[in-house]
């Protein structure tokens, strides 16, 4: 495992990066924002896949993400449970 020397300044926390294993450099990244398809990796909704419809910021607490799945069911989970 190596560190990335000069990452793109547009990459923020919770963004997904695609790394070219032969060069070890970032080839692409996906912003963690409204309209992006994500997978829930923890909590009661673990394993569900959905599109982010809204994000709630809570200072000093857990940030909440509102999602909608393929059959238009809406659900919420903590931001830390989403990948």
Same domain? 42 vs 16:
no
Query: 1 pLDDT band (50/70/90 cuts)?
Result: low
Same domain? 60 vs 41:
yes
Distance CA 55, CA 12 (A): 16
Same domain? 46 vs 70:
yes
Indicate the pTM of the whole model. Answer: 0.84
pLDDT in tens, 14-44: 999 999 999 889 999 999 999 999 999 999 9
CATH at 74: 2.30.30.30
If we measure between CA atoms, which residue out of 41, 35, 33 comes closest to residue 68? 35
21 alpha-carbon distance from chain centroid = 21
């Amino acid at each position: 495992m190596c560190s990335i020397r000069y990452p793109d300044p547009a990459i923020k926390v919770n963004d997904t990066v695609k790394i070219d294993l032969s060069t070890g450099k970032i080839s692409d990244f996906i912003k963690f924002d409204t309209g992006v398809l994500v997978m829930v990796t923890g909590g009661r909704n673990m394993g569900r896949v959905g599109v982010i419809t809204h994000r709630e910021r809570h200072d000093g607490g857990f940030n909440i993400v509102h999602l909608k799945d393929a059959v238009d069911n809406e659900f919420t989970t903590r931001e830390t449970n989403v990948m």
